[in-house]
Structure 1
Amino acid sequence: MSKNDESMTNPHRSNEPVIMRELDLHMSLSSDSLETEKSHLLPGDKNIFDPRATKNTISSLLGMTIVFGVLNSSGALEPLIFDALNNRSNNSNKRHKFLSHSNGYIFSARTNFSKQTVSSVNISWVFSVNLFFLLGAGIFAGCKVDRSGVKSLTYSSCALATISMFCFAKSGNKLANFIVLYGFFGVAQGVLMTCCFSGLSCWYSKNLATFSAAISLGGSIGGIVFPIFIRKSYAKFGYETTILIYGGIVAFLGIGCSLLCDDNFEERNLNTNKKDESFSDVCKIYFKDTINLKYFLSLKFIIISIGLSAAEIGTSIVATYLTSYCTKKGYSQQESYNFITIMNAFGLLGRFWGVIADRWLGKFQVIITCMMIAALSNFIFLLAFGKHTWAMYLFCAFYGSSISGFLSLCPTAVSSLCNDNDFGKRFSTMYLFAACTSIPLLEISGVIIGDQDSNIRYQQFWIFTSLILLLGSFCYLYLRISAVGLRWLKY
């Protein structure tokens, strides 16, 4: 029998050499990748309790409290700004009129006073500009971080955050002041976020997902504590004093973050010797590398940027308008703040998604799962059952635990597309893309909600936010399938 005949009668046998060669190649690549992984272990991977790595993890935790802890409290801050812009705060003889009912403090934002002069669409500019700079300002830090570390930028961003928050207390009742000052605070947040994630990648590689989730606890802790503080302080002291105390808290966190921050020049090839570079050389480097649009020639980078944008903006929109939605549904201000607190409390539990990603599932699979859970939570609990208290508590549980999972992992997923010394630039470029999409999406959200008096508009709003999160999950699903196919692998 000829070889061809034998192949036709026994096709499995004819494929054996090919299969064996592919298996040998796979084993060879796996061995090479394992040796490479071992050779690139960073201090936090060699010893999980390494003192310097632990110190920088705590520093990043404090920094992320300033970044995402304040962002997650946007829903608590929105009624204060509403009152300030409509001359309903910082007036002691009026403020005592707001204290009523057994459920505590009731904001004046919707009832009992003169006709509003500033709408939700106007106020949305305060948060959209802040979010734009939070997501986009890191582009100016990425090149600096890759060249000379994060320490100096951490100092300056913490100082800017403190100063801008103190000035925010003195905004008066002019919308432009709120937009500009909270925008400066967003610049500080954006630079600090790049420093925190880039700095962490200098100490961990194998355990990066776990410790990214750990530092992101700052967002959940801030989201629990800050709304409670804002509500109680505003009821007692008014807008200006509340924000001044808020600025003091930001200053305390910034000092701790700066003192504990350190660079890891020993393990990474950072360019610490720049004596031979002239001023013109430095300018050329920063002009060339600060905004590197060549990254967008890669389809994978475009897809991951869209996915990150959907994750960050979708959750920011929900955080901004959830309190107003609860008020519209008839919940008291106390209950609305309780929902925010519970949601962020479940966010603490959701940080364990990072451990699951490192140990079993992989970053991309966890991100896909969590984003789909968050989108379905919007569809099921808010869109259909928002008027029921039990549904709101279930929403807080599912949504809070899921968003903390993907928000802590999305920034580190870009490490799969770059090398060690390219992380900062790619990270900041990806967030610049997210920033450019944040303003139109936030403004569309404000237009959809309108004057906050229509239930149908809120229903349309939750459909809009759910579709944004679903788009993000499909982006990461595409990247996962393009990398490893439909096989069940840790990725």
Structure 2
Amino acid sequence: LPLSHKLRSIAPTMSSGEARDFVPRTEGNCAEFGTVSFSKASRTELGPAEEAAVHGGTPTETVAPDGGPSAWLVVSGVWCASFCTFGWVNSIGSFQDFYQNNLLKNYSTSAVAWIPSLQIFFMNALGPLIGTIYDNYGPKQLMLVGTFLHVFGLMMTSLATEYYSILLTQGVCSAVGVACISQPSLSTINTWFNLKRGTAYGVLSTGSSIGGVIFPIMISRLVPQVGFPWTMRICGFIIMCLLTVANLTVENFKSPKPQKVNMRYMVRPLREPPFALLLAGLFLFTYGLYVPVNYLPVQLLNAGVSQQLAENIIPVFNASSLFGRLFSGVVGDRIGRFNIFIIVCYLSGVWALAVWIPSHAAAGLIAFAVLFGFCSGSYVSLMAALIAQISPANEIGLRTGIIYLAASIGGLTTNPINGAIFDEPNGEVGIKVFSGVFCIVSATFITAARVYHTGFSLFVNF
């Protein structure tokens, strides 16, 4: 029967307010030229109640409120968590420069690069385990454990003076804490938002950008005044206060139901072509993303600029990323989250190849930092939204964790690979080509995931 007939048959059993909720929208995943098309792509944008109306059943999931004081309070808590986790990790370029020129100056570039690499690896590698725990028990216990480990790791880093101790405290302990905080807190947004999911992620992801601006400036200003140990302690106290707010406010809209976990359950997402393609795309993008973050300060110093300007390039990068994250989230809700993500991924590669390679002076490198930061910011703001768009609600934690695990491999190997490339003749050009090519290849895989759902039409909101 026509959809309108089915809706009319359901409407008399409801109040007028409920009936209005089932009016077809043209802003879903597959709205083309103002005409509603309920293909398999559009199913991911329909809420549980709309799905029930279309198929003549009853809702099986609680409808996300898509706003309200409680929902935005959760967003504020996740913002604090994002500030303390991704915002902290976004400042790793400052540590690469500081360790390489001061505390660990007797070690090679590639050896020092293992510290941020391990940090990124452990932040992501525990993804499937943390995601499965989240799917079954929610975010509360994970975030409490993560808060302790993150703060404890930073406090112990303040006491570290040797390479191995910094590697264990900052590269492992703090990173495991970040993993227990970041993934569960981000996943809660999917339970509170559906149609406005991109906007919510765009707003909360500005926390990581602001953290990525504030932490490098704090580190560069405090280290000469109070020393490295007290700098780490001050950062640790700030993080502890904000994570207290996050622990008090972040919760799921609906309590999760524990489910049986086995190997078949864990590998099932990998058998789905769109998820496998998205996984490949996001994995490859990590190889392009972290290169500028880690090596722009070093290249600015090699270009002869002042130490202060070199230290400020990471805040510039993250400030630009802030606007990119908010822009991609809001625009993604209007034209499609996959659509905007694909565009900015391709542009990230173009900026690396067309702007970064010919740039040798400070002006060109700063221009690249602004352009690349704006475009690459969508990786943080839309990654979880893309996963949720093609995943069952009760598996979002696991699937997000699988993506995180793949990203950990990129995070672990990117810096050592590029450290080795950078130490070779013409290594500076080599890492720029490396970054640009991987951004473009990753965008191609994500485009393939979109094509699987929507076909080759350019005007499908997906």
Q: Give the corresponding residue for 1:181.
A: 169
Work out whether 1:206 is the aligned partner of 2:195: yes
CA contact (8 A) 1:366 1:406 kept: no
Query: How does 1:354-369 map onto structure 2 within 5 Å?
Result: 354-359=329-334, 361-369=335-343
The whole-number CA distance in structure 2 between the counterparts of 1:64 and 1:313 is 21
Work out whether 1:127 is the aligned partner of 2:119: no
The whole-number CA distance in structure 1 between the counterparts of 2:206 and 2:238 is 17
The whole-number CA distance in structure 1 between the counterparts of 2:64 and 2:339 is 27
How much has 1:287 moved relative to structure 2?
A: 5.8
The whole-number CA distance in structure 2 between the counterparts of 1:54 and 1:319 is 30
Q: Give the corresponding residue for 2:75.
A: 57
1:183-214: CA deviation from partner (whole Å, max 9, x where unpaired): 11111112212112211111111111111111
CA contact (8 A) 2:291 2:418 kept: yes
The whole-number CA distance in structure 1 between the counterparts of 2:320 and 2:97 is 24
Work out whether 1:271 is the aligned partner of 2:257: yes
The whole-number CA distance in structure 2 between the counterparts of 1:417 and 1:140 is 20
The whole-number CA distance in structure 2 between the counterparts of 1:344 and 1:439 is 21
Distance 1:206 1:75, change over 3 A: same
CA contact (8 A) 1:354 1:408 kept: yes
1:247-266: CA deviation from partner (whole Å, max 9, x where unpaired): 1122122111112222322x
How much has 1:357 moved relative to structure 2?
A: 0.6
Q: Secondary structure at the match of 1:171?
A: coil
Counterpart amino acid of residue 108 in structure 2: S
Aligned residue pairs total 415
How much has 1:322 moved relative to structure 2?
A: 1.5
The whole-number CA distance in structure 1 between the counterparts of 2:39 and 2:411 is 44
Counterpart amino acid of residue 143 in structure 2: T
Structure 1 spans left out of the alignment, 5+ residues: 1-23, 87-115, 273-281
Q: Give the corresponding residue for 2:455.
A: 485
Distance 1:335 1:300, change over 3 A: same
The whole-number CA distance in structure 2 between the counterparts of 1:286 and 1:189 is 24
The whole-number CA distance in structure 1 between the counterparts of 2:343 and 2:39 is 31
Q: Secondary structure at the match of 2:414?
A: helix
The whole-number CA distance in structure 2 between the counterparts of 1:215 and 1:134 is 19
Counterpart amino acid of residue 269 in structure 2: Y
How much has 1:33 moved relative to structure 2?
A: 4.9
Counterpart amino acid of residue 354 in structure 1: G
TM-score, length-normalised on structure 2? 0.84
Work out whether 1:348 is the aligned partner of 2:336: no
Work out whether 1:82 is the aligned partner of 2:100: yes
The whole-number CA distance in structure 1 between the counterparts of 2:381 and 2:99 is 29
Work out whether 1:384 is the aligned partner of 2:355: no
Q: Give the corresponding residue for 1:304.
A: 278
Q: Structure 1 stretch 392-401 or stretch 347-356: which is displaced more? A: 392-401
1:118 to 91, 104, 107: 107
Query: How does 1:205-354 map onto structure 2 within 5 Å?
Result: 205-265=194-254, 270-271=256-257, 285=260, 288=263, 292-350=266-324, 351-354=326-329
Distance 1:37 1:480, change over 3 A: farther
CA contact (8 A) 2:290 2:411 kept: no
Q: Give the corresponding residue for 1:400.
A: 373
CA contact (8 A) 1:55 1:260 kept: yes
Work out whether 1:459 is the aligned partner of 2:459: no
CA contact (8 A) 1:415 1:423 kept: yes
Q: Give the corresponding residue for 1:99.
A: none
Q: Give the corresponding residue for 1:36.
A: 51
Distance 1:44 1:214, change over 3 A: farther
CA contact (8 A) 2:296 2:365 kept: no
Q: Structure 1 stretch 431-440 or stretch 201-210: which is displaced more? A: 431-440
1:429-450: CA deviation from partner (whole Å, max 9, x where unpaired): 1211221343233321111112
The whole-number CA distance in structure 2 between the counterparts of 1:364 and 1:422 is 20
Distance 1:313 1:37, change over 3 A: farther
CA contact (8 A) 1:450 1:457 kept: yes
Work out whether 1:168 is the aligned partner of 2:148: no
Q: Give the corresponding residue for 1:374.
A: 348
Work out whether 1:446 is the aligned partner of 2:432: no
TM-score, length-normalised on structure 1? 0.79
The whole-number CA distance in structure 1 between the counterparts of 2:368 and 2:102 is 30
1:16-69: CA deviation from partner (whole Å, max 9, x where unpaired): xxxxxxxx9956987995722886674441xx2x22211111111111112211
The whole-number CA distance in structure 2 between the counterparts of 1:33 and 1:214 is 22
Counterpart amino acid of residue 79 in structure 1: D
The whole-number CA distance in structure 1 between the counterparts of 2:77 and 2:340 is 26
CA contact (8 A) 2:127 2:405 kept: yes
How much has 1:243 moved relative to structure 2?
A: 1.1
Q: Give the corresponding residue for 1:475.
A: 445
How much has 1:392 moved relative to structure 2?
A: 2.5
Distance 1:138 1:28, change over 3 A: closer
The whole-number CA distance in structure 1 between the counterparts of 2:182 and 2:272 is 24
Larger Rg: 1
Structure 2 spans left out of the alignment, 5+ residues: 1-34, 54-58
Distance 1:28 1:246, change over 3 A: closer
Q: Give the corresponding residue for 2:383.
A: 410
2:148 to 159, 170, 191: 159
